[in-house]
Chains A and B, each alone.
Chain A
């Protein structure tokens, strides 16, 4: 005999694509549904892998909500980047494993998007170890930044802080989302619960918990090469 929950799920999935329903779904049903079936936000960053090639050219999408959500606040953030840009870039160069990095303001967030090789914690640790106090000028403008300043004295906390603000990367395969959710619950082995009917539901709930995500792990023109390998091939020193 189906439980109440199954009934409710089917009801939600079966909702017609009508305008009124869409409005109700977005404003009332999804929040209610999320409350009914709580889903934890999935952790950010690339998926751990034991394949060496998967651990090259990883993407970081760091979204840091500004404390001051006004044009003035955004201008301050732009100023903090401009004032420290040379040192930050020199630091990234010293880390040695970074392909690209850029700072972007989207909404009231200062964002750092980068492509790096290898392990995330090593990247962030080496970065903060090499530029020391410089990044504090950026972090202090961000909500929750005071918890980790000075970054160079709180390396572990800073790494966790960055990780928590790195976007969840929706897996490239549809069933990957289901798998991620199982992993978060601590279920190691695949349950075989690959019911694709569940996917839109799970994804909606995940997007409710995690409003910003990265879709897939991205396109690469020359996958499997490290920044240093490319530099070496181009003869520009690594």
Chain B
């Protein structure tokens, strides 16, 4: 069943990132089934007028000025009139939809789907999410106008817009977009050897071998619909930047009074990190929570101070690694390090396409009114259950992969509660300093599970 791989049949944001400065997601409802099918057919017609053309994975050196991609929810497939015999071949988690999976994803309390603002408060109406990438707002506007010109096909329910910060920074001040799975079939000059095994194409496309020997995910039927497609967890993740910085302040102050502080940060070592001992401790804590210093230097290679000279991607977690077991990047991808679920190393990898939303926080000019800021995240993988959900429930929020972190949540994105949360800062001696009282820094404010159909599948749906 393994398909011959053709990048032109795959939507363009899956295998490589566009690296545009701006993104706009349009949450759309299908107004009329027949008109919507016409719209889909037109989006792959090859005529670059009217409905914007879907960007394909085969874009080469000539990257288009603006890129355009779509994802469909289960309700969207239904609204298009996809036959029931096809619908039932989609995986359970996609059929149920993101809001039904809230407990697994830690979407509880303030993050619960019942608290999501419009248009995510009525998830059944979100049928299609169209995403526009460009460098200028005017380009986003122009593509949006073209996409919505036929008011009979799609009704706009809401938008979310993101914008890159310099040096790939995201809120909380870390550099992101460093690690992505690499595929033997895809040439991407941005991604060089990171010492990790190449990811099989089945990690991110339906119809190919996965990391589990002999195991393939079910391809939704017929093949014209399922092959070369994949799934996306679109997440609107609000980040409490003030809360995060305050937590670092508090923790640095507490650590200064901690008898073990000199083992954590030897006297004089602060000079390599920041201007004061307290400021250095703040950065040291921030680095440990993520597994990278804010400039991207991995702790696994440079635990004492950020070092622009070390490789940002080529490292592994050996037994004596000084990257905390509970750090965000180690939880999300334990690489070749020992984990409890011995068969799961490398099996849950995700392609991430995210961009910050909301203005960068400037501590000199605190917000006067409440401003929402965060990350518009796309977590892409051929199996939502085996990748995004497995990572979310067992690794980010239970810490099952290592007995030393079990019972704690991811310090940055986990569903933490100040009463019970903890995080261990490793010391050179092997001892640890336990931090407590971490609040939840990231709240979910919306999202949807979408199917990212291949170009053939878009044509198939257009011809239903």
Contacts and interface: CB of A to CB of B under 8 A. Distances in A.
Interface of A: 48-50, 52-53, 55-56, 94-97, 117-119, 121-122, 125-126, 128-130, 132, 152-157, 159-160, 188, 224-229, 231-232, 238
A126 B341 contact: yes
Interface in B392-441: 393-394, 397-400, 402-404, 406-409, 415
Contacts of A95: 341-343
B101 to A, nearest CB: 9
Contact of A96 (B108, B340, B397): B340
Given A96-B342, A122-B341, A155-B217, A117 B103 contact: no
A94 B103 contact: no
Interface residues of B, number: 40
A229 B402 CA distance: 8
Chain B at the A interface: SS class:
loop
B275 interface: no
B216 interface: yes
Nearest to A189: B114
A125 B403 contact: no
B212 interface: yes
Contact of A118 (B213, B339, B398): B398
B215 A153 contact: yes
A55 B398 CA distance: 8
B145 interface: no
Contacts of B216: 153
Given A52-B409, A122-B390, A129 B400 contact: no
Contacts of B91: 156
Nearest to A224: B407
Nearest to B400: A118
A156 B92 contact: yes
Interface string B84-114: 0000000110000000000110101000001
Contact of A48 (B103, B339, B347): B103
Contact of A126 (B214, B344, B389, B403): B344
10 contacts: A48-B104, A50-B415, A119-B389, A122-B390, A125-B390, A130-B342, A154-B218, A155-B218, A156-B217, A231-B403
Contact of A125 (B106, B385, B415): B385
A96 B339 CA distance: 9
B274 interface: no
Q: Which of A50, A157, A229, A232 has the most CB of B within 10 A?
A: A50
A227 B415 CA distance: 23
Nearest to A188: B114
A43 to B, nearest CB: 11
Contacts of B215: 128-129, 152-153, 155
A9 B113 CA distance: 36
Nearest to B106: A50
A30 B264 CA distance: 68
Given A52-B397, A119-B390, A228 B342 contact: no
Contact of B218 (A96, A128, A156): A156
Given A118-B393, A122-B394, A232-B403, A97 B385 contact: no
A126 B341 CA distance: 8
Nearest to A226: B406
A130 B393 contact: no
Contacts of B218: 154-157
A85 to B, nearest CB: 19
Contacts of A132: 213-214
Given A96-B341, A129-B343, A118 B403 contact: no
A99 to B, nearest CB: 12
Contacts of B409: 52
The 6 closest A-B pairs by CB, nearest first: A129-B212, A96-B340, A48-B103, A229-B403, A228-B403, A228-B340
Given A156-B91, A229-B406, A97 B340 contact: yes
Nearest to B393: A119
B386 interface: yes
Nearest to B404: A232
A228 B406 contact: yes
B92 A226 contact: no
B403 A226 contact: yes
A53 B407 contact: yes
B208 to A, nearest CB: 14
Nearest to A157: B218
A93 B212 CA distance: 17
A50 B103 contact: yes
Nearest to B212: A129
Nearest to B113: A188
Query: Which residue of B91, B344, B383 has the most chain A CB atoms within 10 A of its CB atom?
Result: B344
Contacts of A119: 104, 389-390, 393-394
A187 B114 CA distance: 12
Given A56-B398, A122-B386, A128-B215, 20 more contacts: A50-B106, A52-B408, A52-B409, A56-B406, A96-B340, A97-B400, A121-B389, A121-B390, A122-B341, A122-B393, A125-B385, A152-B214, A153-B214, A156-B92, A188-B114, A224-B407, A226-B400, A228-B402, A229-B403, A238-B340
